[in-house]
Chain A
Amino acid sequence: MAKGRFGKYGGQYVPEIVMPVLTELEAAYEKYRNDPDFLAELKSYYMEYAGRPTLLYYAERLTKHYGRAKIFLKREDLLHTGAHKINNALGQVLLAKRMGKKRIIAETGAGQHGVATATVAALFGMECKVFMGAVDIERQKLNVFKMKLLGTEVVPVTTGTSTLKDATSEAIRYWAAHIEDTHYIIGSAVGPHPYPTMVRDFQSVIGSEIRQQLLKETNGRLDYLIACVGGGSNAIGTFYEFRNDANVRKIGVEAAGRGPAVGDNAQTLSNPASRPGVLHGAYSYLAQDDDGQVIEVYSISAGLDYPGVGPEHAMFHDEGTVKYVGINDQEALDAFQLLSREEGIIPAVESSHALAYLEKLMPQTTSDEVVVVTLSGRGDKDVQQVAKALGEEL
């Protein structure tokens, strides 16, 4: 069995053409992941450019609203570019620079990872191409324009269903043809080894900071940890630090969309109908039809709208290390409005899925317990869509 397995999940299911560059990346990552200079440089960009550490904010009014456990929000929404995606983009661009690569490519669905990648490419003066499904380009015009402003070329993908999964395949195809000078910054904890490990490591700063910050806030007490799961990068970054803390209950929230029918949600782990398979280089749980064709999934949140999930989550799911649940569009919209009203914080629709789980969790908690929700991003990008969903004309 190959390297890069999380239990039976993960692996390197990629064409032979890509193997040399994956091997090169793996070697570079092994070399730098514990290299003091690399880590110091990454830390300085986290602090001086991205805005780390992010606040662990005590949501007093939200806590009062539920009248049970204390609720804290890990404010990844306060990062530069407005989401946790920049943690990974910075780590990978620094690695790409050390590998002598000249060009960065990425895939994007909602455009958040595309913007984060375009941003770091601008910062390091690298050429950048972002692959994006034609359907998503139409849905996310604001982020498309942002990427262009940042000097990135947005490449429309019109194959298959013209969405995120097709953009990812196209990025891999482009990579296969330009392996000498190109680094592919994948946007979540998915893809072939070493990506799931590398993305997890770059996002793990979220959980490490939470542990540190709780020492002061709650004397280290933590009972529940909640994060939303698309590909699973903010969630793995949140949970990893606490993976062996059995007393911390970890909950990954997937998008239950508009219902349980196939194609109406983006639940890969919390959906009893989904089963393991291979997409984009990794063996993990996968939304697929009876013939093993990958299906187009749905969520109101473009960032959760991916048919696969990171392989480490698949292992955590089987082991019971993390519990995975679904939150539907309406529940997420309600949470979006609740946090805006109660705390003056407009959350990303993705993060609203994590927040919405509080409705279910809080009645079971007691006032001495502590809940942390990772607020993976801010909601400015979603305001127009939410207005529409609420029947408002802007």
Chain B
Amino acid sequence: MSRLQDKFKELAAQNKKGLVIYLTAGMPDIQGTIDAVKMAEKSGADIIELGIPFSDPMADGPIIQAASYQAIQRGMTLPKVLDLVREIRKFTQVPILGMGYINNMLNYGFEKLTVDAREAGIDGFIIPDVPHEESGEMKQLCKKQGLHLVEFVTPGTTENRIKETCTTADGFIYCVSVNGVTGVRKIDYTPINNVIENVKKQTDTPCAVGFGIGTPQAAQEAAAKSDAVIVGSAVVKLIMENRMEEAAGLISDIRQALDEKVK
């Protein structure tokens, strides 16, 4: 069992919803990211999604685009993200997923990356520009190192694709709440909740809903059918503005809302 699977098992045993917090590696700087991980975990995050900055983040909205761009300007690279994880592993066993785009990873060498990531303490990858069609070889390389490669479903994913994804899904299924990119906005969670109901009939792999979630209320709605919610832009925005305490406040409010909902 991996750190990630243990965490979902533990959450299920406690009848709790999971909270995944996305942080852009290198924002506001390396020490700042380390502090942000500590802050997030202390405020109630169960899993950290660590963004590996890419120059052309196709699936991201303005906030994460800006955070990635600034992180690159400040010298962040994929090898430095691995170093950062090594530092983080000195103080926590929180599950960490590397979220990044395929080009940096191919450039590093995907197989070498899986070996080095495992050694550094990463538990898996989320690669938004690698859909099911392209993931075969990467999936195998990840598996060899005991890493998860998270797959996606969206409100528009067809029945057939859902079925395929459910047979290979691993770690958790990233359920994109809305057609579009990352960024906080008001969302109707009905379409993705319907997809999740369908997924649940076909696999035990946990479902996490992401994109758009920025308030405790949105988190509650997004958690209605899922096992976890993912919060990114709302936290990253506060961190970029050096408002670390407010970020902590937001995370613990969301944590509380999720815990209340379950009761």
Chain A residues close to B by CB (< 8 Å):
1-3, 11-17, 19-21, 23, 159-160, 165-166, 169, 172-173, 176-179, 276-281, 286, 288, 290-295
On whether A291 and B156 interact (CB within 8 A), knowing A17-B176, A173-B181, A281-B129, the answer reads no
On whether A277 and B128 interact (CB within 8 A), knowing A20-B158, A160-B55, the answer reads no
On whether A288 and B107 interact (CB within 8 A), knowing A159-B66, A173-B58, the answer reads yes
Q: Which residues of A contact B130 (CB under 8 A)?
A: 13
The answer for the CA separation of A173 and B133 in the assembled complex, in Å, is: 20
A15 touches B56 (CB 8 A): no
B106 touches A292 (CB 8 A): yes
Q: State the Cβ distance, A33 to closest chain B Cβ, in Å.
A: 21
Q: Which residues of A contact B104 (CB under 8 A)?
A: 291-293
Q: State the Cβ distance, B166 to closest chain A Cβ, in Å.
A: 14
Q: State the Cβ distance, A22 to closest chain B Cβ, in Å.
A: 9
From B56, B61, B179, contact of A17 by CB (8 A): B179
Residue B11 CB within 8 A of the other chain: no
Q: Which residues of B contact A13 (CB under 8 A)?
A: 102, 129-131, 134
When A and B form their complex, what is the total count of cross-chain residue pairs whose Cβ atoms lie within 8 Å?
121
On whether A20 and B156 interact (CB within 8 A), knowing A160-B65, A277-B106, A279-B103, the answer reads yes
Residue B240 CB within 8 A of the other chain: no
A292 touches B133 (CB 8 A): no
Q: Which residue of A lies closest to B60 (CB)?
A: A173
Highest count of chain A CB atoms <10 Å: which of B56, B105, B136, B156? B56
Residue B54 CB within 8 A of the other chain: yes
Nearest 6 pairs between A and B by C-beta? A292-B107, A177-B180, A16-B152, A292-B104, A2-B133, A293-B55
From A12, A176, A286, contact of B131 by CB (8 A): A12
Q: Which residues of B contact A12 (CB under 8 A)?
A: 131, 133-134
From B106, B153, B179, contact of A278 by CB (8 A): B106
17 extra A-B contacts, CB within 8 A, seeds A2-B133, A160-B56, A176-B59? A11-B133, A13-B129, A13-B130, A15-B128, A19-B132, A19-B161, A20-B157, A159-B62, A176-B181, A179-B156, A277-B106, A279-B103, A281-B129, A286-B103, A288-B107, A292-B105, A293-B72
The answer for the CA separation of A245 and B41 in the assembled complex, in Å, is: 64
Residue interface mask B108-143, A partner, CB < 8 A = 1: 100000000000000000001111111010000000
B129 touches A15 (CB 8 A): yes
B58 touches A169 (CB 8 A): yes
